[in-house]
Structures are given as C-alpha cells and as structure tokens.
Structure 1
C-alpha cells in the first residue's frame, strides 16, 4: 500500500507571504470571535437525538443541564445551583436557579420533565435513551409498556425537580450534565415539529451562547453570546465560528495564515512541526476506535476464528506509531485508560489481556483458513466503512492492506461523511465499520453497556449471555458493592475481548494547536469534548 503523506509541505516563501498578509489584516486581529476548525459537519442540535462529538460540543456550549462537566472528572452546578440525595441513593432533588431561554422565557422544572420524557419516548428514537434506565419506569416506557408521563421525574413548582431512581446509581450526577438530560421547551418543539434541531433557527438555547448560521447542511456555524444566559456577565468574548475543513493540510495552512485560531493536527509530520511549541496541546480522550463486524448481515462473522483472525492481522503498534504518529496508543482492550482506579489498580491493568488485541499474522492466517473451512468459503469480499476524514482514510488504507494479507480476503474501503457513517452503522448497512466511543462519564460502564445484546449502539449484534448477566449485576445486585461491581466489569471486558465481540484498534490522543491570543479552553476526556465559557482573547498575542 502507498501511504498518503500526512501533510504536503508549503514552500517557505509562500508561507511567509501568507503570514505577512495575515499580520496586516486588522479586522482579523481585532476579532473577538474565535475561529475554530472542525473535521466533520454538525449533524443535529436536537439534544435528544445527538450522537457525535461535534454535536455534543456545540450543544454543551449553547445549552445547559442541571450540572456541568468540570476539571478532573468532576461536575459543577449548572441550571441547578444545588441538589440533595436521599440516604438510599434513589431520590435526587435538584434546586434550580432562575435562568432563562435566549428568548427571555424562564427555564423551569417542567422543561426538564418534558425534555427527559421526550428523550425516553420511543417515538423520538433517541440513541441515548438507555442512559435513563435507572430512572423509574424508563425501561418500561422504552418497551411501550408504560406511558411517557410515568417517568420518574416530577416538577415540584417551577424551580424544584425531583427524580426517582429504581436503584442507586453512583454516577447519576455525571449523566445529568449530558445533552440527553437537557431541558426542552415543549412549545418550541411542537411549533417546529420535524425541523426542530435541524437548523439553528428552529431552536431555543439556555446556555452561554446561541447557534447562528447553520442551515443543517452548510460547513460553518457560529456560537454567539447569549445575553439572557444566567452567567452572561462572565462571558468575556463574542463567541466562536466553527469552520469545517476535512483536509488537514488545508486546515494547517489556514492556521499558519492566521485564518484559524484552533485546528486539529493529523499525523506525526504535522505534530512534529509543533514539537517544541507552546501552541501544541495534546488532549487526552477516554476513547477507543474499534471495528464492528455485522453478524446479523453476514453469518460469517458469527464464527469466532474469523473474528479473531481479523483482529490478529492488525499490527496496532505499527499503525499508531508509523501511520497516525500523533501520540495515539495501541488499544489494550476495549475500555480506554483514564477510568478511576480501584484499590490502587487501573481498570486497564486489571482487565488487561492479550486476547483480542494481539498481533500475530502467522496465527491469524491459521485461524482464518480454519474459519473459512467452518463457514464453507474460500474467498471473501468485505466492505470496510469509515469516515471521510484524514484519519479515517488513513485507518481504512492501513486496515485494507493489513487484512488482505489473509488468504482469499478482498477488502473494499469506503469513506463517507460522518453523518452518513453513523446512519449506516445504526441501520446495519455495513459489513465492517470503524466506530469510536468517547466515554460519557468516568466509569467503565459507559463503554461496556454498549455491547449488551439489546443495546442500541450494538450495531454488529454480537451477543453473549454471560456478558449480559455481568453488566446487569453491575447495575443491579452489585451496584452498591464497589468490589463486586468492579469484578463484574472486569470479567465483562475479558469476555468481550476473548470472544472478539469487537476489534479494538487504538486509543486516540487529540493533538490541537491554539493561537496564543486564545486561552481558557477547557477540554474533557469524557462526555462533552469542551467547554468554551471561560475563554479569554488577547489580540496583542495574535502574531
């Protein structure tokens, strides 16, 4: 395979010309609007339907839940300025501050009740409704066995919200900071109907910014200051303009010419250019990229030897070091590093096993040939689906070459826009798909709950009864016993890896460069990717 260069170098003379031109642009240098590159398009502003990082990042800064994500895997007050938990851990009472929507209308407890009911309503088809499974009657509602109005969330007046859980959930405080738990205004949702959240106009916002300039399909949109935000006085800049640029070379050129304040770097050559620069920031992510195999569409993937052979043919160390080269690391399992320790031991260390993530091409060929005989095939054609980003293309190029070393395997790579990839993955229109997951909150269950037999994100339809039972115990009988719950999750991870339910590839690190004039951006390893509330801009540091 001919690996594409990570970046085409720009002639020094041309770069100098661009830099001089940018320095002379007074309009740019005096701007209080941060210019931010996004590698993929915004897909939705509907908090009940969002599934991707671009949408979550935009929503986290244009809307606000009861709590907000904060540094060091903690949360801080959002719309709720305080809350209490009952002794049995089943009742949460949130005391809401007097806040407003961007149109001046008060945000009340009823808005949270409606928003939560809408998310769990099967008609909404929210992929994140499973996060409500501990809320009273949520599971029955999702199965059409109870009315939406029976959900365990009630408004006690305008500014008190009472939540009833069926069992304790130690990480519930993290969940209520997420987009699916945001308030929603019933009148607005019903007014816009199917167009709600599909463009920036057909929405209300209760966060520090409101979204403008998004038609639903265009490649740029803005966050502009929401003067009705309860803490607007502490927002010290005008907002952010997001610019979609899928080509990393073009994005880096735009950053070099001062057209962008922040851009993502791709590949070790780009990262190497900023090796000793204070502008380079390596953003840790509790995330794993992995391959799903569609067992429902192609029975061949039900064969354990086939699944193991595909995984064992991938040299993850070579891929992360020589192809990505951006600080990303080979996956040691499915759950990424960065989860809380238990008795001084990390989850990755406790669950770590070579099964499921090892490279051994000779053994892979043996398993492959054995698997082909078992399924009655001699030649196989597989379509490999991924995003049309630079990293997505590099991934499929590498995987295609690696996997075609298995005798009789022909791989066709297809790179499509992220919105299309998500849609096709969710609808099962793939043979193999490269997916990724960023933990929603700092607990291994955020990863492991995805692959129970009935989970909405289990796109490949892998199923294991023992795995399901362990996840159920961790959320039920063992929920209040930290040691038993830890062992449940460790054993579930081991089953997933031994049975090769999915194929983990790598844990990404997000390298970004930020202009010196922009400070205060807060990145998070779990949940929403960033918080822009505390940004400061010093135009004297532009050049």
Structure 2
C-alpha cells in the first residue's frame, strides 16, 4: 500500500480524485499480476533527501521502506524495525532492525544507512526542502542553520542492527514520521558512486522496498516498478510489476483505459458526471496541505 503525505505550513485542504479503476477481467494484464497505472505529471526526483512532490513520494513509498510502514488508515506497522523501545520520558527511541533487510543490489541494510540518510538530509549543503521535518530531533535545527556539525544529530548506530534516536522535545507524531520517505535509509556507497546523478534516473539508485524501478531516464513519461527479489518481505508482494504512464489529459487517459492499456485513470469533471454510475467509478479522498508565503522583504506599496 502506498501512503501519500505532504507536509507544509498553512491551511489544510481536502482533495478528492475521481478515477476509474478496472474491475474483474477488464484488464488483460490482471492474470499476470501486472497493473498499468497512470500519473498526472512527470516524476521529478528519486532522491530521498530532495523529493517534495506527490509523484516522487508515490514512487519512493513503493520502492523503499523506513523503520515503519503506514498501513490502512495510517496504522503503524513494522518495517525495517522489527521492535522499538521508548524511554520513560519519551525522548529516546531504540529501534532493533531486522537482519534480513537488504538493498536491491544485495548490500546489507544496516542502522548506519539511516544515520547517513538523516545526516545527509539535515546537512545545509544538501539543501533539502524537508529538513525542517527533523525538528525535534536533537540538534536538527542547529545543524540545518549551520550552527552545529552534522555528526551531532541525535541519531546513532550501535552495531549494525540497533538504531538510537534522541529527541530534544517530545514529538507526538514521531512514529508516523518514520513511515514518511524523508526518513527512509540511503545507501552511502550508491550516493557517492553516482554523485550528482543520484536519484535522477532509475539506474542511479538502489532500493530498500518491495519494488525496484526500471526504465525511468529522468525525463520520460513511462517507467516500471518490478518486484524486488532482495526485499525481506517479498513473499507478501503479490504484484510482479507496475507499469506507470504519465497521462496529462483526462481524455487521453480515458481512451487508454477503454482500450485496456490502463487499469486506472483520473477523470475530468464532465467525465465524472457521465460515468458516476459505473461500477468502476471511484472517489479517492486524500489530505493535502498548501501554504501561501507572503513577501516580507520587498516593499510593494508606497
């Protein structure tokens, strides 16, 4: 399951998507455990430290995994962390990681991968727009402001499979953050190997989740997620592949859906009115937060 979340400061808006989803035998690919899915715009980035948009997080959620997974109704489920111990004051979290977790290239996935990832994101040199989400973790704000060294962040690896996180204030939603892609691990060897190309195409990444990406060049309008044979929970991954296609026009999307080339497509308002009685018509609700930032430095009125 993929959970889409966007964190910003401002006014909350409830957004609804009107879609058609193939049922029964409407898709010739269903028997092959392959689905064909649409996205409304290009994929900007697969860099965990730099991604900020819904499309990127859709892909990161399907190809990577954090300490927890967010299930139905955002229920917290074990991910790479098989158990968690919280101190009495709620300021220290000790995660015990599963030893069978691996990267898609076969490398062992360890606590050090979380330490590296979090430090990379809060490092001002990375220029991560979501570094502020780490606020509340010891020294995160000072590191992001350039006042303290990156290695003072409140996260440390005790061996390969124990991760200790220290907070400087209680964060009631901390466990939910652990299922958000910005807190996923990153493979230091891959980041250093690919350099500035890291996360810009499917071949410049390694993956920790149920699928690995193929066929994305960084600018094309189609790509595929294939089942990751190195994923620790691969026995529970039922799909062998997901084919994604960017369809910016709802008319084009609907035509592809009718011809069996898509198993899901977004609808425009007129299409939704005409198809609202179809058994394949689905309303998908989601929470989204946007914000307006007012100009506070330039004088625009005399």
Q: TM-score under structure 1 normalisation?
A: 0.49
- Determine the C-alpha separation between the residues in 2 that align with 1:260 and 1:191: 36
Choose from 146, 149, 162 the match for 1:147: 149
RMSD over aligned Cα atoms: 1.9
d(CA) in 2 for partners of 1:288, 1:149: 32
- Cα deviation, residue 222, structure 1: 0.8
Which residue number in structure 2 is paired with residue 137 of structure 1?
139
* 1:201–1:249 distance in 2 versus 1, CA, 3 Å: same
**Alignment equivalent of 1:227, drawn from 207, 229, 239:** 229
Aligned to 1:52: 53
Q: What's the counterpart of residue 68 of structure 1?
A: 69
After superposition, the C-alpha distances for 1:206-245 in whole angstroms (9 at most, x for unaligned) are: 1000011001010011110000000101112211111001
1:181 and 2:183 aligned? yes
Question: Quick one: structure 1 residues 169 and 279, their matched pair in 2 at CA, closer, same or farther if it must change by over 3 Å?
Answer: same
Residue in 2 aligned with 1:127?
129
Higher relative contact order (CA 8 A, sep 6+): 2
Q: Give the direction of change, closer, same or farther, for the CA distance of 1:226–1:29 in structure 2 (3 Å limit).
A: closer
How big is the shift at 1:289? 5.5
Partners in 2 of 1:282 and 1:92 — Cα distance? 38
Deviations along 1:31-72, whole A, 9 cap, x unmatched? 432110100010001011010000001000100000111112
1:334 aligned residue: none
Structure 1: 5+ residue stretches without partners: 1-21, 301-374, 377-543
Matches of 1:213 and 1:136 in 2, distance apart?
39
Q: 2:172 corresponds to which residue? A: 170
- Flag the 1:243–1:297 CA change in 2: closer, same or farther, 3 A: farther
Which residue does the alignment assign to 1:515? Answer: none
For 1:299 and 1:285, locate their aligned partners in 2 and report how far apart those are by CA, in whole Å.
38
Over residues 68-118 of structure 1, what are the superposed CA-to-partner deviations in whole Å (9 max), with x where a residue is unaligned? 111123211110011111111100011111200011111000000000000
Aligned counterpart, 2:16? none
Q: Please say if 1:237 is aligned against 2:254.
A: no
Aligned-partner Cα distance in 2 for 1:298–1:266 = 39
SS at match of 1:191: helix
Q: Distance in 1 between matches of 2:161 and 2:155?
A: 13
- For 2:89 and 2:248, the matched residues in 1 are separated by 49
Three-state SS of the structure 2 residue aligned to 1:146 is coil
| SS of alignment partner, residue 110 of structure 1 | helix
1:192 and 1:296 map into 2 onto residues whose CA distance is 39
The CA deviation at 1:293 is: 6.2
Matches within 5 A, 1:77-116: 77-98=78-99, 99-116=101-118
Count of aligned pairs between the two proteins? 277
Look up the match of 2:9.
none
Residue 299 of structure 1, CA deviation: 3.6
Q: What is aligned with 1:258?
A: 260
More helix by share: 1
1:201 alignment counterpart? 203
Q: Per the alignment, in what secondary structure is the counterpart of residue 105 of structure 2?
A: coil
SS in 1 for 2:186: coil
Q: Deviations over 1:497-541 (max 9, x none)?
A: xxxxxxxxxxxxxxxxxxxxxxxxxxxxxxxxxxxxxxxxxxxxx
> What is aligned with 2:249?
247
Runs of 4+ off more than 6 Å:
none
The DSSP-based 3-state class of the residue aligned with 2:202 is coil
Structure 1, residues 146-200: CA drift from partner, whole Å, max 9, x if none? 1111111011111110000001111000111111111111111011110000000
State the secondary structure of the residue aligned to 1:106. Answer: coil
After superposition, residues 364-375 of structure 1 pair within 5 angstroms as 375=301
- Cα distance in 2 for partners of 1:83, 1:113 equals 17
Which secondary structure state, in structure 2, belongs to the residue aligned with residue 57 of structure 1? helix
Deviation, 1:273, is 2.7
Question: Cα gap change, 1:179/1:29 in structure 2, threshold over 3 Å: closer, same or farther?
Answer: closer
Q: Residue in 2 aligned with 1:270? A: 271
- Mapped partners of 1:30, 1:162: distance in 2: 44
